[in-house]
Amino acid sequence: MERKKRVAALVIHGIGGQRPDFAEPLIRGVNREVKRLGADASAIAWQPVYWDDLLVPRQQAYLKRALKDGRLNYQRLRQFVVSALGDAGAYRQRPSGMVAGAQSGRTYERVHARIREQMSGLYHGPLSERPLPLVLMAHSFGGHILSNYVWDSQQTPDRTLSAFERMHWLAGFITFGCNIPLFTFAVDKPVPIRFPATRLPARFKEKARWLNFYDPDDVLGWPLKPVSPAYARSVDADIRLQVGSAVGGWTPAAHLLYWRDRRFARHVAEFLATFVS
């Protein structure tokens, strides 16, 4: 008989070409480290959120048309640019008073609908409609996406959803290779999401943490506390972490190496273990 879940972990990817199984290396690594700590890894309910398929068809169609005559150089690099910058461009928002609460466009809504679907599947599936502390894990641009999603849930909650699905049980936010700061320059005083969730039960609120990891060689990963005094209060720690090996870890390619890095997995495991030990 499967043991009951004690914490939910939702993982989202960032920009660039992604596969549906993008989170598997991280999940395996974290579960392994949780077991090393003597905690119950089976008590973690994992839920990846894959959204790259929403944009790939249009990106690939354009690339096929643009590259067919061979007049453009650096074609492989151009494919990366279209995938990476195309994702960010499609998921665009008009600046408003608060960066995280900006007005949405069609792709914005489609990506958020995917998150809502996965949250519903998590709650009605592995959790058996039993609310548990929720830890969000977001790589790169995914941090910006989840920040917007949580903001929208807090500002204009959908009363048809459960308290869990409305993010009332948000107890952890782990951002890595995060570029939220790059999207805050449109306003004078950026304000983050309310963290931890105001309605989170007290026994979990004392464990709640927003941990932001960045590799010093990752030019797309940035500290969050310097964004504004409000971010400095909400984020518990900006953690400088060298990921990867000497081959790629000491270059900007470090941005892609968090997923398989044992040191990063150990940090995540140590936090999740506080809920399952």
Other beta carbons within 10 Å of 119: 23
pLDDT at 104: 43
Pairing label, strands 93-94, 103-104: antiparallel
Per-residue model confidence (pLDDT) at position 277: 83
Q: Tens of pLDDT along 172-194?
A: 999 999 999 988 988 889 999 99
Q: What is the pLDDT of residue 98?
A: 39
C-alpha dihedral, 34 to 40 to 41 to 46, nearest 10°? -120
Domains and CATH numbers, the chain: 7-276 (3.40.50.1820)
- The tokens 């690339």 sit on which residue? 63
Would the pLDDT of 85 be above 70? no
> Lowest-confidence range among 46-55, 65-74, 104-113, 231-240?
65-74
pLDDT higher than threshold 80 for residue 255? yes
Please give the pLDDT value at position 37: 97
pLDDT recorded at residue 115: 97
Retrieve residue 53's tokens: 């398929």
What pLDDT is attached to residue 2? 55
Give the whole-angstrom CA distance, residue 237 versus residue 211. 5
pLDDT tier at 251, thresholds 50, 70, 90: confident
The lowest-confidence range among 92-96, 190-194, 213-217, 222-226 is 92-96
Q: Is the pLDDT of residue 258 over 70?
A: yes
pLDDT of residue 99: 45
pLDDT for position 167:
97
* Token pair listed for 275: 């809920």
Closest of 199, 45, 31 to residue 128, by C-alpha: 45
Please determine, for residue 170, whether its predicted confidence score (pLDDT) is greater than 90.
yes
Evaluate if residue 97 carries a pLDDT over 60: no
CA 78 to chain centroid, in Å, comes to 25
The pLDDT of residue 87 is: 54
pLDDT attached to residue 199: 93
Residue 141 has pLDDT above 70, yes or no: yes
Q: Is the predicted pLDDT of residue 247 greater than 70, yes or no?
A: no
Query: Residue 66 has which token pair?
Result: 């643009």
What pLDDT is stored for residue 202 in this prediction? 94
pLDDT at position 86 is 57
Summary count for the chain: helices (H), strands (E): 8, 8
| Gap between the Cα atoms of 164 and 148, Å rounded | 17
According to DSSP, residue 195 is labeled: S
Asked if pLDDT for residue 159 goes beyond 70, the answer is: yes
Nearest Cα residue to 255 out of 110, 173, 141, 147:
141
Write out the E strands in 33-73.
44-49
Bridge partners of 138, per DSSP, are: 12, 175
Measuring CA to CA, how many Å separate 41 from each of 30, 116, 184, 274? 8, 25, 36, 12
Q: Look at residue 102 and tell me whether its pLDDT is greater than 50.
A: no
CA gap 180, 64 in Å, rounded: 31
pLDDT of residue 95: 39
With 60 as the cut, is the pLDDT of residue 125 above it?
Answer: yes
116-129 mean pLDDT? 96
Instruction: Specify the range with the lowest mean pLDDT, choosing from 62-66, 154-158, 269-273.
Output: 62-66
